[in-house]
Structure 1
Amino acid sequence: MSGKPTSGSDTSDSSDTEKEGVAGFMSRAREQAQQGMASATESDAFASVEHAVEGVAANTMSEGRLFDVADALSDYRLNEVDVTDTTCGYCAVGCRFDVYSKDGEVLGTRPNPEKAPINGISTCVKGKFSYGFANSDDRLTQPLVKDEGEFREASWDEALSRVKEGLEGIQEEYGPDALGLVASSKATNEDNYVMQRFAREVLGTNNIDNCNRLCHAATVEGLSDTLGFGAASTGLAALEDTDCYVLVGSNTTEAHPVFGTRIKQNVRDGADLLVFDPRKTQIAEYADQFTRIEPGYDTTWINGMIRYILAEDLHDEAFIEERVDGLEKIRESVQQFTPEFVEEKAGVPPEELKSAAETIATADSCMFGWTLGLVEHSHGTDNIYAIANLALITGHVGHPKGGLSPFRGQNNVQGGGGDMGPLPNNFPGYQPVTDEENREKFADRWQMDLDQMPAEEGYRLTEMFLAADQGDLRGMFIQGENPQISEPNIGHATEVLEELEFLAVQDIFLTETAEYADVVLPATSTVESNGTYTSSSRHVQLVKRAIEPNGEAKEDWEITQALAKRFGYDWGFDSPSDIMDEIADLTPIYGGISHERLEEEGGLQWPCRSEDDHGTPYLYADEFRAVEGSEKAQMHVADAIEPGETPDEEFPLVMTSGRVLYQYHTGTMTLREEGLDAYSAESFVEINPETAAEYGVADGETVTLTSRHGTTEMRADITDRPSPGEVFVPMHYLEGGANNLTKEEPLDGPSRAPEFKVTDVEVTLENEPTDDERSPTETDSGSDERPAASDD
């Protein structure tokens, strides 16, 4: 078996005291440390706590070595280490903590509740301990250029000149739209702002996108169309104090452990928890109702629930009359989604549909939370329309304890991936590029001629790879992303990267994508950077440099500005604070945000429109903003039924994909952490025992998964987490990862996002004998054929 925890080991969320999860972990550490700390001096206090943390870790985790960093901390007195308060660079919960460092090395972190409005005393294992990558032996420390297929080290002057020549050559020969830029949701808001400015002002193209296209692009489209903003309507009150949670396609305790802990604490205090997922994730164990759903049929069961609520007059008539448009077209569209139809297609029993609908409709408040299980589909935007319709008909939007809350994956995908405008259709602040007034505003600020500002929407991310395949896109500049692993169909992505006429990559490591580059530029990691991140809850928070950049690495905004200067543009930014001031001037929802205010007041939730605006804890208290001139929400029909592909005789199983606790995104940082790799260094496939028996697969055996789009090998983990006929593969890996099997088409219509969550596959054993190797008895009996799994 691989080193990952099996479904039976609860390493991510121990519960052997009253508190659970990360909060419980830290609480137990502090309880054990209290006696020692009572007699400790101030300078010894930190070491006492961290020793206790290590002791608890050894008991609650199967390997205490994950927390060996505590030994390093004990070697120093508190006044001998540097302490920097900053924001976590992993998921988008928005945890804040103090980073303890010494001589350029991160020793550990400790939350300071006074500066941590979202997480309090909690962190997950990655946020607390996983910073060894910053000083990894293979960090990029100076630029690389490729000559005759081999990399060599180069000066910044030479490397930037090569990037300019490569981009400018394609721009002049084929036009600016033959270039594609990929921004980074791991980089700061300020980094992403200058990247989109570079695309539009310097290169003259709207071909800029980011990893948001591969995760919550459908969320942004759907929520913008129905409510007004492509972001969570909720604040912290809904997360902590709502009366009812509806979690859809969210592996909360592994993908967002701190959120998971908050939810479970409130559930223990009496809140209802309803979980809908094809896979029995850990959060489902705490649910009042866990309902397995068929992958790809979310609109079906959600519309069935809406139909039941309307038929039973459980909808909030007063709220709808006052604040919502479109009820009658929704009422008509959901008539086909009878309980029998929902059970046939989505696998949801009528009694579970009825129970959940009544719980939601009668709750005083309800929070609807989801991650990629709801949106990574060829009709992902329809899924968001459906969940928004459900929230609107029950009146659970615009409420301090209720609303719609997408849990974002990468640390700054809300801000850097959306708010800052590294998008083919929007300037910063979701201001459409096709609107002439918006173009005039940005052109005036950037001192451009209006006719030089690109007016047409650009390629979305996966469309860039499709366009490159057709010869319409010739060069790319990729900042802090690793699309060779994150794009659907790794084989197709690899072919495109190999064929590009020019590729520049800006990153902290020579990633799998960077291997194909002509020039590689070394950037800073999160603990070496300054700026801001924006959390899932719309909190804009400061990021502060804890250690100096490694070697000659530079912050992303500095690199982009230096490159712009090569093209003749002198932006004159001296710091990220200067960039935020420009963002505030051009972006109404950030109009009152500055680094000075964030230092003085802590995080501010946008919209924050002026210096005397203290931010917005939850959205839509008074009005919706989906349609100009109307204060009402707009419901949209969501009647898609079938996923992008369905099982057949050749590919009888359905693969879905997702995250694991101990890895992050494409593993660029976490796969270099020895402690984390002890748990999940390699890929695996979860197979239900019934399916495994049908296919003759034993636990720990190497199997081959084949789809219509690719093939790969991995180890089998026999567990009841997936349903019979379904398998689960994590998305973090090149070898054995899910994207060896996924497809680049079809794309979701409105968002142009790919389908990651439904891929039909076949499972075979690595050393399965051929017909020639089998005995005549085996062959004659037909035992050479594996029985097909059910379509359920």
Structure 2
Amino acid sequence: MSDDTTNDGSDTELDGVAGFMQRAKGRAGSRLKQQRLSRSKLAQFLEQNAASLAADTISEGKLFQLSKVLYDYRLEEVDVTDTTCGYCAVGCRFDLYTKNGEVLASRPTDPENAPINGISTCVKGKFSYGFQNSDDRLTQPLIRKDGEFHETSWAEALDFVANRLGGIKEQHGANALGFVSSSRATNEANYVMQKFVRQSIGTNNVDNCNRLCHSPTVEALSQTLGYGASSVSRDDLKNTDCFLITGSNTTEQHPVLATLIKQNVIRGADIYVFDPRVVKIAEFTRSQYTRVRPGYDAVWINGMIRHILENDLHETEFIDERTVGFEELADSVQKFTPEYVEEKAGVPPDELKQAAEGIATADSCVFCWALGLTEQVNGTKNVISMANLALVTGHVGTPNSGVSPFRGQNNVQGGGGDMGPVPGNFPGYQKVTDDDIRQKFADAYDVELTDEDGLTITEQFLAADDGDIKGMFIMGENPAVSEPNVAHAREILEDLDFLCVQDIFLTDTAQYADVVLPATSFVESNGTFTSSTRRVQLVKQAIEPKGNAKQDWKIVQALSERFGHEWGYESSAEIMDEIASLTPIYGGISHQRLENEGGICWPCWDEDHPGTETVYLEEFNQPDGRAFLIPTDTEGPAEKPSDQYPLTLTTGRVLYQYHTGTMTHREEGLMSIAGEAFAEIHPETAADHGIQDSEYVRVTSPNGSARVLAQVTKRVNPESIFVPMHYLEDAQVNLLTNEEALDPSAHCPEYKATPVRIESETDGKRTPASTSSVGQAATPADFDISDVESSPRPGTETHPTETDS
């Protein structure tokens, strides 16, 4: 239904569920080759076996029973579409089984066509499609009249949007408008959004949610190694000898990758986890878990580098031949003594020593992180420090080694960065300030283009508060929930002269809009997503758009026509052809080639290039091919604990929810498991404040307060609490965070270190039996990492709450 032309190999046999997955995958590949089974029969075989196993072994196995709906139909009577998942950025591929506009089930495609996930999917990718047919799906454009929304035609809605945007531009200038693109949308949709903003409006005020998560990764890796992206492939994760994981709750954020990592650890790889919380991947550690103080990551990383240099464990030949700036780095880390690291970051000297020596002496190592490392005022410095550590140990640009930032939203790598919906870059990280680059795009777009850097998303909100931004166009994002200090963000949205929102639901943000344009979800769209490992893969329309909703790129193209620019795209494949012509790292990628060959990792320079699974094996993407070692320092969080706010709040995700809940909050099954916000509080802290497990507490920061359930657990330390980001109303964690504490280079807000206090609200006390509503995070009060076995317990290698077969 597309509008476009559209064995493991390991000698080690695993136990438990992981072993089942390995054997099932082998059987699947064998039967595909030897018996040439049909896709439907193979899928049915795997589905029945996985469902039976899960139901028999774990409490969450009841979820797998949902798949039985598929058997209400004969398989030959349903449509089957192979596509790419629209949740996190692992890049899982699977078949969607649909009938009459409804998604009946998803099943992993054959392993050869799913190189990242094989036959695995996580719970969201498998079951979370009920939102497609929610009663509150947007199906017709809406215009606000006399304070109320009224349905209207596409022609009237787009004319109104064009007139209002054009009017603000004429009266106040192009820079009085701000635009937000979407990491949920396809590469093609994000490309045309930045093209519209630059060509039709004449500003670089375009940004996306990457600014709120991994912009420090892009900034830091661009400065040091060259590409603002992961350097490794799936096979590197599968085969490396060592992992350093920090700021990533991998089993809940990226379950399929967690399974891959665990399987490697079972085969003998070492794993070091540094995190403020005892995240679930830490329970699995064969080597060590170290608790760190939020906001001081560059301190312990620099301390690790110092220990490696002091003990001559660095790779001298690699450093001499492939890096620049070693002497300056060596001088800069001298202050990070074990005593200093322990004082600032809370890392014991013996644990720092053990991890440093283990990483330095390993044959290979992959350095993994997520938002815990980046969503800080020191985020860019943190990632630069991590790149320095990888370089001094020779574990980047070498086999089975490298840096691996785990991206959150499905297309934050491609749509959030590669496609250029950011203030300072054209597609492919080509700078708007480069005269030759800017002229290339000016010639292609047939307009003069400004060389003035635009405003980031948070800067757009602050500029609107000052009266400099008069109107905004927001595609597929929900800043009324995701922005720091959302109470203020909502006031700003309400005061705008004009707001247009393009989305699939009337989100919290859309409720402030003057015009709402109904878009399609990934199940109703065609195009491509780019995974965390730079793999570009096709997304195919499995069901027809709901009502009169339209694909994002088609909406933006129709709007551009009203500004006098006729693009004439008839398919998203044609947009990718234009992307390839202007973006060297995508130069050899086309929809037809992806259909024929499967996913391709950029850089892919031309149609004869195979793509690049692991980058930097020959040289780094810097002027002379050598990476830059850049000294870093840090003063800790922007706001530190005080007598009034003695605790530090850090935020994150849970397995069963996705970002601001636009899709997953409409899933009854997921909400029954993880339907309410909670605060993880250490038993000592709870006792000091008279707080009992499962009662409501009030969390207050200098910016606001939130009301959440208490989960008394040793996963956090006595100085910290943890609250997930997914929930709304009085439980919104971003009522607490600071909008002005930004990373100076990447302008990412500090979500991971906010000073707070907590108070009991005993009138809302709940019984312990109801704590299941907060799902996987609920933890016994007597939990301690010291109780975790040093090697995996039988049957726990792969949790079906993380992935299923």
Please confirm whether the aligned pair reaches a TM-score higher than 0.5, indicating the same fold: yes
Matches within 5 A, 1:434-583: 434-448=433-447, 450=448, 453-583=449-579
What's 2:322 paired with? 323
CA shift for structure 1 position 26? 10
Q: Cα distance, 1:58 vs. partner?
A: 3.6
Q: Percent identity?
A: 61
Q: How does 1:96-495 map to 2 (within 5 A)?
A: 96-112=93-109, 113-287=111-285, 288-448=287-447, 450=448, 453-495=449-491
Change (3 A) 1:379 1:44: closer
Q: Distance in 1 between matches of 2:59 and 2:171?
A: 58
CA 1:19/1:598 → structure 2, altered by over 3 Å: closer, same or farther? farther
Match of 1:650 in 2: 644
TM-superposition CA deviations, 1:329-356 (whole Å, max 9, x none) = 1111111111001001101111001110
Which residue identity lines up with residue 662 of structure 2 in the other structure?
T
Question: SS at the partner of 1:442?
Answer: helix
| Equivalent residues of 1:171, 1:203 under 8 A apart | yes
Q: State the AA in 1 paired with 2:310.
A: A
- Distance in 2 of aligned mates of 1:764 and 1:23: 47
User: Which letter does structure 1 place at the counterpart of 2:204?
Assistant: N
* 1:69 Cα deviation after fit: 3.3
Between the aligned partners of 2:572 and 2:16, the Cα distance in structure 1 is 39
Measure the CA separation in 2 of the matches of 1:360 and 1:510.
Answer: 48
Counterpart residue number, 2:774: none
**Aligned residue among 735, 739, 756 for 2:734:** 739
Question: Which of 195-204 and 22-31 deviates more?
Answer: 22-31
1:299 match: secondary structure? helix
Q: TM-score, normalised by structure 2?
A: 0.90
- Alignment match of 1:93 (pick from 90, 93, 96): 90
Cα separation, 2, equivalents of 1:744 and 1:177? 21
Do the aligned partners of residues 161 and 25 (structure 1) sit closer, same or farther apart at CA in structure 2, a change above 3 Å counting?
Answer: farther
Taking a change above 3 Å as real, the CA distance of residues 177 and 25 of structure 1, as seen in their structure-2 partners, is: farther
CA RMSD of aligned residues (A): 2.0
Q: How far apart are residue 66 of structure 1 and its match?
A: 3.3
Deviation at 1:205, TM superposition (A): 0.6
Query: Are the aligned partners of 1:73 and 1:108 in contact in 2 as well (CA < 8 Å)?
Result: yes
Per-residue deviation, residues 737-770 of structure 1 (Å, max 9, x unmatched): 321100001211110111000001000112489x
CA contact (8 A) 1:326 1:634 kept: yes
**Residue 660 (structure 1) aligned with residue 659 (structure 2):** no
SS, match of residue 59 in structure 2: coil
Contact kept in structure 1, 2:142 and 2:149, CA below 8 Å: yes
- Relative to structure 1, is the Cα distance of residues 42 and 415 closer, same or farther in structure 2, using a 3 angstrom cutoff? closer
CA distance in structure 2 between the partners assigned to 1:29 and 1:618 by the alignment: 25
Cα separation, partners in 2 of 1:436 and 1:43, compared to 1, 3 Å: closer
- How many Å separate the matches in 2 of 1:21 and 1:737? 36
Matches of residues 734-773 of structure 1 in structure 2 within 5 Å?
734-735=728-729, 736-767=731-762
User: Quick check: 1:682 aligned with 2:676?
Assistant: yes
Cα deviations by residue, 1:438-460 (Å, 9 ceiling, x for unpaired): 11101111122x3xx12100001
Label 1:44 to 1:698 Cα distance change in 2 as closer, same or farther (>3 A): same
Equivalent residue in structure 2 for 1:592, among 581, 588, 592: 588
Contact 2:43–2:107 under 8 Å retained in 1: no
Amino acid at match of 1:101: T
The offset of 1:293, in angstroms, is 0.2
* Structure 2 counterpart of 1:779: none
Structure 1: give runs of 5+ residues left out of the alignment. Answer: 1-16, 770-792
> Is the 2:25–2:118 contact (alpha carbons within 8 Å) kept by the matching residues of 1?
no
- Cα distance in 2 for partners of 1:426, 1:161 equals 29
Corresponding position: 1:71 with 2:75: no
Tell me if structure 1 keeps the 8 A contact 2:181–2:474. yes
Q: CA distance change for structure 1 residues 244 and 48 in 2, over 3 Å: closer, same or farther?
A: closer
Is 2:702 the partner of 1:722?
no
User: Aligned with 1:151: secondary structure?
Assistant: strand
- Superposition deviation, residue 29 in structure 1: 14
Contact 1:22 1:122 in 2 (8 A): no
Letter in 1 for 2:361: T
Question: Structure 1 residues 64-73 or 207-216, which shifts more?
Answer: 64-73
Q: 1:367 to 1:41 in 2, by over 3 A?
A: closer
TM-score where L is the length of structure 1 = 0.91
**Are the counterparts in 2 of residues 707 and 762 from structure 1 also a CA contact under 8 Å?**
yes
Is the partner of 1:495 in helix, strand or coil? Answer: helix
Contact 1:30 1:49 in 2 (8 A): no
CA 1:58/1:29 → structure 2, altered by over 3 Å: closer, same or farther?
farther
Contact 1:66-1:676 within 8 A present in 2 as well: no
**Greater than 2 Å deviation, 4+ residue runs:** 19-31, 40-69
Deviation of 1:399 after TM superposition, in Å, equals 1.5
Alignment CA distance shift 1:20-1:214 (3 Å)? farther
Indicate conservation of the 8 Å contact 1:22/1:257, yes or no.
Answer: no
* 8 Å Cα contact 1:729/1:737 also seen in 2: no
Secondary structure, in 3 states, of the residue corresponding to 1:162?
Answer: helix
CA distance in 1, matches of 2:49, 2:116: 24
The Cα offsets for residues 395-418 of structure 1, whole Å up to 9 and x where unpaired, read as: 011123000110000000000000
Contact 1:18 1:24 (C-alpha < 8 Å) held by counterparts: no
The code of the aligned residue for 1:359 comes to: G
Instruction: Give the Cα–Cα distance (whole angstroms) in 2 for the partners of residues 670 and 30 of structure 1.
Output: 33
Q: How much has 1:47 moved relative to structure 2?
A: 4.8
Q: Secondary structure at the match of 1:600?
A: helix
* Partner AA of 1:764 in structure 2: E
Q: 1:504, 1:103 → 2: CA distance?
A: 31
Question: Aligned letter for 2:435?
Answer: E
Deviation track 1:703-748 (CA, whole Å, cap 9, x = no partner) reads 0000001111011111111111210000111231321100001211
Is it true that 1:710 corresponds to 2:704 in the alignment? yes
Count of matched residue positions in the alignment of Structure 1 and Structure 2: 742
**Mean Cα displacement is larger for which, 365-374 or 730-739?**
730-739
- CA deviations 1:136-167 (Å, max 9, x no partner) are 11100111110111111111111111111221
- Structure 2, unpaired ranges of 5+: 1-13, 765-805
* Inter-partner Cα distance in structure 2 for 1:407 and 1:84: 27
Letter in 1 for 2:116: I
1: CA distance, partners of 2:168 / 2:269: 58
